């Protein structure tokens, strides 16, 4: 099988092997990873290693805290304004996709939202430019990679206000200065691990910005004070993240995976660009390296293409229900060979049906 699914998605084979071994016998303890206490040196070792691997792979400075939380990226849509946006204050948001627009909706529950720019006018098929981020807002929020629409921001916006990014679908896929951000969050199930855990990188200086009284489980400060162990963490999901981070380090870290990701994306885009049968709705300069969105105009041919994918063990190529067409997700763990196989299939199909 070649797995192009958008999420939960492919992980390295050795991570699956290691994780399944640990379900039966974790580190030769005779115990399953699923039955050990979370406040044991065994699990603390896993969590500490995951935190330090992430700090190392992202080259984080000493102001940054790494948290592993529950609730998926969607919980951060409200937990961020809850912690960082005081009533009567304003936060700036960039509206460039379905996920970002959900974050905007939630932020409005806590304070004022200034949508500095939107690409909704063209189905979120491009990333807006030329907008200004006011210097008096509490923070600026954007989505680095729009998983559903297939656009990606290829540079970090310039601003003097705290920068917050949803990196759920492109975290650790490309080299960037992660220290420029006051808060980074990502659901693990796209590029880092198993569903059920959410990764947060937060600058200590921003904690408590809203000055609001919060339920303990919603308060970033209490999670930091308790080292992501305020309550039982999603033990297995954290373990799978740790294994994937180990794998990423072993193959050479973010710089090494970026090279492979570049190869995969250019191979697929070049193949599609050369074939008139396929349409690419996304502005060229904003194309995502993680989620490649494309369509075929004739619905009958579209159906036939999906069937051909299915017949050839290509999984998860169907587009998101809100966009239609196709989407091939090329996350870190997807080998180049899978993209080569898909490109071969695409060319064959175009020859037969074109
Ligand atoms: C998948 C995704 C989400 C939602 O993640 P959940 O963990 O399901 O809440 C949010 N933002 C982006 C960019 C995503 O790709």
User: Ligand 1 atom closest to Cα of 74?
Assistant: 9
How many A from CA of 40 to the centre of ligand 1? 31
Q: Is 187 in the pocket of ligand 1 (CB under 6 A)?
A: yes
Query: What average pLDDT does range 263-277 have in this prediction?
Result: 98
Q: How high does pLDDT run on average in the chain? A: 97
Cα dihedral value 263, 264, 267, 268, nearest 10: -160
Ligand 1 pocket test: pick from 5, 73, 183 the residue with the most ligand atoms within 8 Å of its Cβ: 73
Q: Is 99 in the pocket of ligand 1 (CB under 6 A)?
A: yes
The model carries a pTM of 0.98
- Return the CATH architecture of domain 13-250: 3-Layer(aba) Sandwich (3.40)
Where does residue 203 fall: left (phi above 0), alpha (psi -120 to 50 degrees), or beta otherwise?
Answer: beta
pLDDT tens track for 132-161:
999 999 999 999 999 999 999 999 999 999
Res. 213 pLDDT band, cuts 50 70 90:
very high
Which of 166, 170, 203, 286 does the annotation list as catalytic? 166
Nearest to 192 by CA among 245, 122, 121, 267: 245
For CATH 3.40.640.10, list the domain ranges present in the chain.
13-250
**Alpha-carbon distance 13 to 224, whole Å?**
32
- Tell me: is residue 166 an annotated ligand-binding position: yes
Q: Is the pLDDT of residue 236 over 90?
A: yes
**Worst-scoring range by mean pLDDT, 53-62, 103-112, 256-265, 319-328?**
319-328
pLDDT tens track for 32-43:
999 999 999 999
* Class level of CATH domain 253-353: alpha beta
Please, which residues have CB within 8 angstroms of residue 24's CB and are 6 or more apart in sequence? 32
Shortest-distance Cα residue to atom 5 of ligand 1 = 73
**Alpha-carbon distance 354 to 272, whole Å?**
13
- Tell me: is residue 28 an annotated ligand-binding position: no
Q: Is 326 in the pocket of ligand 1 (CB under 6 A)?
A: no
Q: Is 171 in the pocket of ligand 1 (CB under 6 A)?
A: no
Ligand 1 pocket test: pick from 68, 71, 74 the residue with the most ligand atoms within 8 Å of its Cβ: 74
pLDDT tens track for 157-200:
999 999 999 999 999 999 999 999 999 999 999 999 999 999 99
The per-residue pLDDT for 176 is 97
Q: Is the pLDDT of residue 307 over 80?
A: yes
Decide if 99 is catalytic. yes
Other C-beta atoms closer than 10 Å to the C-beta of 294 total 25
Q: Is 191 in the pocket of ligand 1 (CB under 6 A)?
A: no
- Tell me: is residue 287 an annotated ligand-binding position: no
For CATH 3.90.1150.10, list the domain ranges present in the chain.
253-353
Q: Is 7 in the pocket of ligand 1 (CB under 6 A)?
A: yes
Nearest to 97 by CA among 139, 63, 143, 66: 143
Residues of the chain with pLDDT > 70, as a percent, come to 100
Largest CA distance in the chain: 64
Q: Is the pLDDT of residue 354 over 80?
A: no
**Alpha-carbon distance 75 to 87, whole Å?**
19
How many A from CA of 189 to the centre of ligand 1? 9
Q: Is the pLDDT of residue 201 over 80?
A: yes
Q: Is 281 in the pocket of ligand 1 (CB under 6 A)?
A: no
The per-residue pLDDT for 321 is 87
**Pair of tokens at residue 119:** 């690409």
CB 200 within 8 A of CB 249: no
User: Ligand 1 atom closest to Cα of 146?
Assistant: 13
**Alpha-carbon distance 52 to 48, whole Å?**
6
SS3 track for the chain: CEECCCCCCCCCHHHHHHHHHHHHCHHHCCCCCCCCCCCCHHHHHHHHHHHHHHHHHCCCCCCEEEEEECCHHHHHHHHHHHHHCCCCCEEEEEECCHHHHHHHHHHCCCCEEEEEEECHHHCCCCCCCCCCCCCCCCCEEEECEECCCCEECCCCCCCCCCEEEECCCCCCCCCCCHHHCCEEEEECCCCCCCCCCEEEEEEHHHCCCCCCCCCHHHCHHHHHHCCCCCCCCCHHHHHHHHHHHHHHHHCCHHHHHHHHHHHHHHHHHHHHHCCCCEECCCCHHHECCCEEEEEECCHHHHHHHHHHHHHCCEECCECCCCCCCEEEECCCCCCHHHHHHHHHHHHHHHHHHC
Which of 64, 89, 95, 99 does the annotation list as catalytic? 99
């Amino acid at each position: 099988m070649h797995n192009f699914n958008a999420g939960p998605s492919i992980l390295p084979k050795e991570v699956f092997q290691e994780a399944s071994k640990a379900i039966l016998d974790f580190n030769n303890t005779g115990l399953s990873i699923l039955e050990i206490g979370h406040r044991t040196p065994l699990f603390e070792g896993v969590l500490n290693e995951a935190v330090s691997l992430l700090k190392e792979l992202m080259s984080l400075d000493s102001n940054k805290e790494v948290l592993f939380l529950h609730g998926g990226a969607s919980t951060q849509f409200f937990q961020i304004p809850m912690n960082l946006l005081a009533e009567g204050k304003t936060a700036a948001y960039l509206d460039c996709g379905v996920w970002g627009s959900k974050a905007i909706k939630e932020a409005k529950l806590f304070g004022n939202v200034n949508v500095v720019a939107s690409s909704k006018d063209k189905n979120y098929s491009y990333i807006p430019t030329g907008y200004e981020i006011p210097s008096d807002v509490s923070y600026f929020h954007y989505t680095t990679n729009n998983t559903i629409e297939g656009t990606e921001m290829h540079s970090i916006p310039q601003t003097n206000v705290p920068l917050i990014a949803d990196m759920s679908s492109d975290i650790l896929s490309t080299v960037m200065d992660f220290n420029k951000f006051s808060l980074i969050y990502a659901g693990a199930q796209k590029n880092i691990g198993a569903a059920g855990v959410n990764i947060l990188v937060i600058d200590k200086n921003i904690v408590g910005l809203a000055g609001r009284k919060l339920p303990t489980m919603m308060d970033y400060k209490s999670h930091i004070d308790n080292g992501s162990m305020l309550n039982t963490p999603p033990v297995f999901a954290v373990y799978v993240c740790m294994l994937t981070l180990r794998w990423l380090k072993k193959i050479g870290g973010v710089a090494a995976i970026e090279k492979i990701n570049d190869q995969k994306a250019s191979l697929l885009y070049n193949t599609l660009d050369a074939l008139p049968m396929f349409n690419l709705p996304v502005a060229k300069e904003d194309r995502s390296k993680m989620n490649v969105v494309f369509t075929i105009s004739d619905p009958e041919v579209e159906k036939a293409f999906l069937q051909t994918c299915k017949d050839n063990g290509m999984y998860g190529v169907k587009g998101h229900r809100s966009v239609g067409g196709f989407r091939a997700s090329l996350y870190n763990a997807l080998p180049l060979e899978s993209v080569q196989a898909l490109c071969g299939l695409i060319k064959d199909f175009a020859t037969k049906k074109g």
